[in-house]
Amino acid sequence: METVREEERTWIAREIHDELGQALTGLKMELAWLDKKISEPTHPAFARLLAEKIGAMKKTVDITIVSVRSIATQLRPGILDNLGLVAAMEWQASDFQKRTGIRCELLSLPVDLVLDEKLSSALFRIFQEILTNVARHAKATCVTTSIRQEAETLIMEVRDDGRGITDEEAHNVKSLGLLGMRERVDILGGQFAIRGIRGKGTTVTVRVPIGDGFRNAGIDTQGLDGNG
């Protein structure tokens, strides 16, 4: 089901970006042509009214194009497929920081981390869900994330400095976000843990086994602030 879902996300994202994006771009070009034409001699009041209408339409098209790109990227960021998990996480951290004002730092990420598509997608979706929960519930000012390898296990750890999740919240069977993350990790044969300390924050730890599809050319020990 997760594989089918990701395939559907990818297909929808491409359709939105290619079909609707191209149509809007074509419409904007037509508006630009019309804007140029009405600058030719005509009744001043009529020309001014048309120019105002066209200007408003161009702004609407620009806003719609931005929305289309945002929706397509949220469905399936192309950077995940083209540049891999680390680059996608850097992009997500930067976007999260801009949208929420919560500092998002990426620390000790493998410089050359290559994972198969299934594992990359799962870890990226878990990272997204954690950030969503931080924005909604944590009341945090900073989030730090690290990925490291221990033997045949890949470990992703995300910490925030917020209010700290309670045991009751961590084991709430009605929390679809937590349930979804646990299920993704279970599918990968890994372990999921979440621990909160009141007033000091919450730590989510994901451990997943890695196989021959993993390659690590080194660890970057210099923190990335999520802006790059």
Encode the chain (228 residues) as per-residue pLDDT tens digits.
666 666 677 767 677 767 777 777 778 887 777 777 666 666 677 777 777 878 888 888 888 777 777 776 677 777 787 778 888 889 889 989 999 999 999 986 676 677 888 888 889 989 999 999 999 989 999 999 999 888 889 999 999 999 999 988 888 877 878 888 898 899 889 999 999 999 999 999 999 998 644 444 333 333 334 443
87 and 200 share one domain: yes
59 and 160 share one domain: no
174 and 97 share one domain: yes
Domain boundary among the residues 48, 75, 102 is at: 75
CB atoms within 10 A of CB 44: 8
106 and 39 share one domain: no
173 and 97 share one domain: yes
Domain boundary among the residues 75, 105, 134 is at: 75
Count of structural domains, the chain = 2
21 and 94 share one domain: no
Residue 221 maps to a domain: no
Give the Cα separation of 126 and 157 in Å (integer).
11
Residue 170 maps to a domain: yes
Residue 227 maps to a domain: no
201 and 109 share one domain: yes
The CB-based long-range contact list for 80-87 (8 Å cut-off, 24+ gap) reads 80/120, 80/121, 80/124, 81/10, 81/117, 84/113, 84/114, 84/115, 84/120, 85/113, 85/115, 85/120, 85/123, 85/124, 86/110, 86/111, 86/113, 86/147
The answer to whether 18 and 69 are in contact (CB under 8 A) is: no
Q: What is the pTM of this model?
A: 0.66
89 and 148 share one domain: yes
The answer to whether 91 and 69 are in contact (CB under 8 A) is: no
Domain boundary among the residues 18, 51, 75 is at: 75
Q: 80: closest CA among 33, 35, 41, 127?
A: 127
Two tokens at 6? Answer: 């990701």
51 and 71 share one domain: yes
The b/e string for 72-109 (b: 16+ C-beta within 10 A; e otherwise) is bbebbbebbeeebbbbbbbbbbbbbbeeeebbbbbbbb
Domain that holds residue 36: 2-75
Residue 224 maps to a domain: no
